[in-house]
Amino acid sequence: MKAFQFILSLYSIVAGLGITTLVRGVGQIIEARGRVRPYWVHSCWLLCLFAVNVGSWLSLWNVREHALWTPLEAFLLLLIPIFLYVVSYLAVPDLDESEQLDMRAYYFTHSRWMQGMLFLSLLSGSIATRIIEDRWDMGLGDVLRIVAMLVLLPGIVSDRPRLHAAQMLCLILLLVVALQRVAIPIG
């Protein structure tokens, strides 16, 4: 087994946990829909998180040719799905059988931590790219990560609903731009 395959295996396990947490949580929300008051920002947040989780896993393909891995490089790379897992965990509630849940209140209870963890995941990705690929120029992925981090910063320090709504519109726009990269063949 090559080092990349070894790292990819562990990355995939952690990323899979994050995706599973999101999918399970959305299923629970749908199942309890009569007791859940939805909030559009939270719903969009779940959609964006799913895309970010899948996109981060797919982006590993960019480092498949990296031959000599250091523990620091592996650690930086594995921080990405770890932070994404924490965000995914915080993004979906555990629903009791009788509990009424206002997703707006739930979102704002966890929003600062979710945005902070997503920020750290993006930062880890940026640092890992620089160290692993020894590349200091800026590609579209780098620009998208930096813009996303700048969009997230105000939400880490503020609970203003209009700010979070504007953030979500910006993040959706970024996601649409990032999805343009989906059409590029892997390999």
Whole-angstrom distance, CA of residue 28 vs CA of residue 106: 15
- Which pLDDT score is estimated for 157? 95
- pLDDT < 50 stretches in the chain: none
* 80-129 pLDDT tens trace: 999 999 999 999 998 877 778 899 999 999 999 999 999 999 999 989 88
Q: Are 25 and 50 in contact (CB under 8 A)?
A: no
102 - beta bridge partners? 37
Burial-class residue 98 by CB neighbours within 10 Å (0-12, 13-18, 19+). exposed
- Which pLDDT score is estimated for 40? 96
- Which pLDDT score is estimated for 108? 96
Place of tokens 């939400």: 155
> How many domains in the chain?
1
Whole-angstrom distance, CA of residue 172 vs CA of residue 56: 16
DSSP string, the chain: --HHHHHHHHHHHHHHHHHHHHHHHHHHHHHTTTTEE--HHHHHHHHHHHHHHHHHHHHGGGGTT-----HHHHHHHHHHHHHHHHHHHHHSPPPPSS--EEHHHHHHHHHHHHHHHHHHHHHHHHHHHHHHH---S--HHHHHHHHHHHHHHHHHH---HHHHHHHHHHHHHHHHHHHGGGGSPP-
- Which pLDDT score is estimated for 186? 63
- Which pLDDT score is estimated for 67? 80
- Which pLDDT score is estimated for 132? 86
- Which pLDDT score is estimated for 65? 84
96: containing domain? 3-183
The pTM of this model reads 0.90
- Which pLDDT score is estimated for 184? 64
